[in-house]
Structure 1
Amino acid sequence: MPSLSLALPNGVDPVSRWRNTARAHESFLRSELRSEADGPGEVRPVVLESWRRSAALHVDPDRRDSPVTLVDDALAEARATHPLRHAMPVVRRLLVDDAADAGVLVIVGDARGRILWAEGDDDLRRRAERLHLQAGADWCEDAMGTNAIGTALAVGDTVQVFGSEHYARSVQPWSCTAAPIRDPLTGHTIGVLDITGGASVVAPQSAFLVRSAVAAVEAELRLLGSTVAVPGSRLEVLGRPRGLLVHQGRSLELSLRHTELLLLLAEHPDGLPASELAWQLYEHDAAEVTVRAEMSRLRKAVPDLLSPAGQYRLRAELRTDAMDVADLLGRGDHRAAVELYRGDLLPRSAAPGVVALRYRLHGWLRNVLLQSGDGEALRRYALSPSGRDDAQIWRACLDGLAPGSPEKAEAAAVLASLDGELGLATDV
């Protein structure tokens, strides 16, 4: 592993590294470094690039915890159907059995950064749960910014993140080393292995320990004759300038137009003719030949996902995070819906069909929250990019929180500020 990728190479003082990186992190958040070609010497390139991705994704550096997207039956099903369940005895033998004595957590997640297993030191695990560093939580970079789990999946290699290198301040007391796990037959990323704890988990030998454990896991899958089931295809579109497609174990960053095409087809499983796609994609009249050209390019990128000719349709189910939010709203699980709603659906898209989907989902979520009076769900939404400037949401949040709570005082202060900007009288 190149020494520049190590968080704490031999001879580096952890205290000085933490302080220097913390100063650089605060400077970055003040936008002093985002457009510079070169970052400060205190920040490793892998970390600085991750900070820039996190900022582009509008990750909140003051986010307190990660979204929990797998609970109860959904978590049990994800574990029971994931190929890494076969390799957990190897992980436990190599890492978990000694984790309590070492004071670390051992985490195994899927290719999307969702934690499936988190085992090890009991006291550390209880502390980690305050951040939702637990089974079922989403630790991709989209959700929590720079962290070893999400960043290892983003760059496809072993990553160490030390303390103040984390993008979210709430995670900066922690350190972690992670590496992606690949299907030994296809080479596709199917998961991630991580160790989390104090500074010791980013010592140089920790990187080699995690890599060795990953090699043992992949060897076990090979010995089992792994025919790893391809995870269901998924398209992430909430709060993103363009889509992230997870297909056949691969993560593909799509262009905005290709994202729009797949999203519209996912919403119309029976398919759409070229004329209908053209109407839903373009603000003005567009020839069907334009749609056909875009579909041809998209089909080359994901040939087994799209029908070969005729009516355009998907050959397999494609789930989106927007669909998951809608399902949660339909079940009345408002808090989980807020956790998963990372922002407006493809906010940069002007395609009429996409704009209609965006307004429909946002309006549904907002109206449900206003009607429910759930103070905690309202507060979580109010703190998100979609709700932070919404005075009506903050007033409903204020009404739904317990009298005398710090959160109610916070809501009153924000509402007074918003009303002041609008020139309105405030009585809170």
Structure 2
Amino acid sequence: MMVNFQSSSSEISMAWNQFITDGISQNRAVAPEIMESWQRCYKAGVNPYGGKACRVLSLTELKNLLAKRKDIIDIAQPFMLKLYEFVRGSGFIVMLTDERGYIMENFGDEDIMEKAQELYFTKGADWTEESVGTNAIGTAVVLKKPMQISGAEHYCLKHQAWTCSASPIFNKRGEMIAILDMSGPLNGTHLHTLGMVVASVEAIMDQMELREKNRELMIANNRLVDIFKTMSEGVMIINEYGIIVRVNPVAEQIFGNPAHDLVGKGIKQILGRDAQGIEKSIGRQESFNDLEVMVDTADGRIHCLSSGVPIEDNGISTGAVIMVRPMEKVQKLVNRFSGAQAVFHFKDVIGKSQEKW
């Protein structure tokens, strides 16, 4: 259902003519945000009949901009395409700009895209108020909030056959990083157009947050992997069925087997009867420390100390992290820190014996 803007458009047109003629307007048909924008355009010396010469980035500048903003462009593109599918064939264009108002991406019907080039609806074009007068993108740059500007609300006459709806995109720090806009012929203005743009922006920001969380998880995981690989103890990660799913390099050395030979084996195959105590602790979701175990290795069975921590997901055990230290290494460590070294000299021997010649 299209909205009938005829009466309000006529009042706004009269207000625009009055403003352009004498620089003032008392017509209440014009929203305060629009009037303030007109005043900014007037002070900036924007030509109401043609606008200033719209600045367009050079190919090098555009290339640098697109490279710098690749992340937000990649996230926004699927949502822009979905938005465009809703308005395909209606003469509307979907655009993404940076926070300054420079167009970075656009989608639209081929015929309307050719026509839009005449109005600089092209990549690299500057759509600030200072460049092209009052418009949804430029005014959103200033006010940092969703805007819909239609018909005579545009400061420049050549844009008054259009309607545009724009909404800023913010990052998690609340900084405006881009603007999504949908522009088309004035007779296609719909009450829900701005709502569609705002909904798309919310979806884009949700996707940005999800991607950021995934990135943080990846960084955290990489750090954990680094710690896992550099630990001085042998470490095994088992699943809820007691199957080894990962081992660190030290565990490979202790067991005398590469990871691909150990992964997939049951903990019982490595620890034999001693695995029962570990399995009971893990089943009760309890940690255990310095449990003495005999470990099967490529060179035979060795005496070790083992500690473990269960892995839980919403209170459900999903496995455990098990650490193994050969007893020999533990004893060496104790001796090193306690200074227990048996060093004897002949003069230290105290005793008496009868001389025999």
Q: For the superposition of Structure 1 and Structure 2, which TM-score range results when normalised by the shorter chain?
A: 0.5 to 0.7
Q: Which amino acid aligns with 1:144?
A: V
Say yes or no: does 1:180 pair with 2:168. yes
Cα distance in structure 2, aligned partners of 1:126 and 1:31: 36
1:397-412 aligned within 5 A: none
Report if aligned partners of 2:2, 2:190 keep a CA contact under 8 Å in 1.
Answer: no
Q: Which amino acid aligns with 1:123?
A: D
Over aligned residue pairs, what C-alpha RMSD do you find?
2.4
Say yes or no: does 1:41 pair with 2:41. no
The verdict on how the C-alpha distance between 1:12 and 1:197 changes in structure 2, with shifts beyond 3 A counting, is closer
Q: CA deviation at 1:94?
A: 2.4
Cα distance in structure 2, aligned partners of 1:195 and 1:16: 24
Q: Which amino acid aligns with 2:185?
A: G
- Give CA-to-partner distance per residue, 1:43-70, whole Å, 9 cap, x none: 1222111111111211111225752331
Q: CA deviation at 1:12?
A: 6.4
Cα distance in structure 1, aligned partners of 2:48 and 2:214: 40
- Give CA-to-partner distance per residue, 1:232-291, whole Å, 9 cap, x none: xxxxxxxxxxxxxxxxxxxxxxxxxxxxxxxxxxxxxxxxxxxxxxxxxxxxxxxxxxxx
SS at match of 1:58: coil
Q: Which amino acid aligns with 2:30?
A: V
Q: Which amino acid aligns with 1:164?
A: A
From 127, 150, 157, the counterpart of 1:162: 150
SS at match of 1:117: strand
| 2:121 match | 133
Cα distance in structure 2, aligned partners of 1:90 and 1:19: 38
Q: Which amino acid aligns with 1:121?
A: D
Cα distance in structure 2, aligned partners of 1:221 and 1:125: 28
Say yes or no: does 1:210 pair with 2:197. yes
From 39, 42, 54, the counterpart of 2:41: 54
The verdict on how the C-alpha distance between 1:196 and 1:66 changes in structure 2, with shifts beyond 3 A counting, is farther
Cα distance in structure 2, aligned partners of 1:81 and 1:222: 19
The verdict on how the C-alpha distance between 1:15 and 1:188 changes in structure 2, with shifts beyond 3 A counting, is same
Q: CA deviation at 1:140?
A: 0.6
1:302-321 aligned within 5 A: none
Say yes or no: does 1:107 pair with 2:95. yes
| 1:327 match | none
The verdict on how the C-alpha distance between 1:158 and 1:200 changes in structure 2, with shifts beyond 3 A counting, is farther
Cα distance in structure 1, aligned partners of 2:34 and 2:214: 35
**More strand per residue:** 2
Q: CA deviation at 1:186?
A: 0.9
| 2:13 match | 22
1:241-280 aligned within 5 A: none
Percent identity between the aligned chains? Answer: 28
The verdict on how the C-alpha distance between 1:55 and 1:140 changes in structure 2, with shifts beyond 3 A counting, is same
Cα distance in structure 2, aligned partners of 1:213 and 1:11: 21
From 68, 72, 76, the counterpart of 1:81: 68
The verdict on how the C-alpha distance between 1:200 and 1:181 changes in structure 2, with shifts beyond 3 A counting, is farther
**More helix per residue:** 1
Report if aligned partners of 1:57, 1:142 keep a CA contact under 8 Å in 2.
Answer: yes
Q: CA deviation at 1:73?
A: 2.7
Cα distance in structure 1, aligned partners of 2:153 and 2:209: 35
From 173, 186, 190, the counterpart of 2:177: 190
Cα distance in structure 2, aligned partners of 1:11 and 1:91: 24
Q: CA deviation at 1:164?
A: 1.0
Report if aligned partners of 1:65, 1:132 keep a CA contact under 8 Å in 2.
Answer: no
SS at match of 1:54: helix
Q: CA deviation at 1:226?
A: 7.4
Q: Which runs of 4+ in 1 moved over 4 A?
A: none
Cα distance in structure 1, aligned partners of 2:193 and 2:137: 15
Report if aligned partners of 1:17, 1:42 keep a CA contact under 8 Å in 2.
Answer: yes
From 6, 20, 31, the counterpart of 2:22: 31
SS at match of 1:160: strand
Which consecutive unaligned segments of at least 5 residues does structure 2 have?
A: 216-357
Q: CA deviation at 1:81?
A: 1.4
Q: Which amino acid aligns with 1:17?
A: S
- The two structures have a TM-score, normalised by structure 2, of 0.56
SS at match of 1:204: coil
Cα distance in structure 2, aligned partners of 1:155 and 1:111: 12
From 123, 131, 134, the counterpart of 1:146: 134
From 210, 222, 244, the counterpart of 1:223: 210
| 1:6 match | none
Q: Which amino acid aligns with 1:62?
A: Y
The verdict on how the C-alpha distance between 1:105 and 1:119 changes in structure 2, with shifts beyond 3 A counting, is same
Report if aligned partners of 1:105, 1:195 keep a CA contact under 8 Å in 2.
Answer: yes
Report if aligned partners of 1:152, 1:180 keep a CA contact under 8 Å in 2.
Answer: yes
SS at match of 1:95: helix
Q: Which amino acid aligns with 1:141?
A: E
From 1, 9, 13, the counterpart of 2:4: 13
| 1:305 match | none
Report if aligned partners of 2:151, 2:162 keep a CA contact under 8 Å in 1.
Answer: yes
- How many aligned positions are there? 214
Say yes or no: does 1:67 pair with 2:54. yes
- Give CA-to-partner distance per residue, 1:122-142, whole Å, 9 cap, x none: 111111110112111101111
The verdict on how the C-alpha distance between 1:114 and 1:201 changes in structure 2, with shifts beyond 3 A counting, is farther
From 90, 93, 96, the counterpart of 2:84: 96
SS at match of 1:225: helix
Report if aligned partners of 1:60, 1:168 keep a CA contact under 8 Å in 2.
Answer: yes
Cα distance in structure 1, aligned partners of 2:53 and 2:214: 32
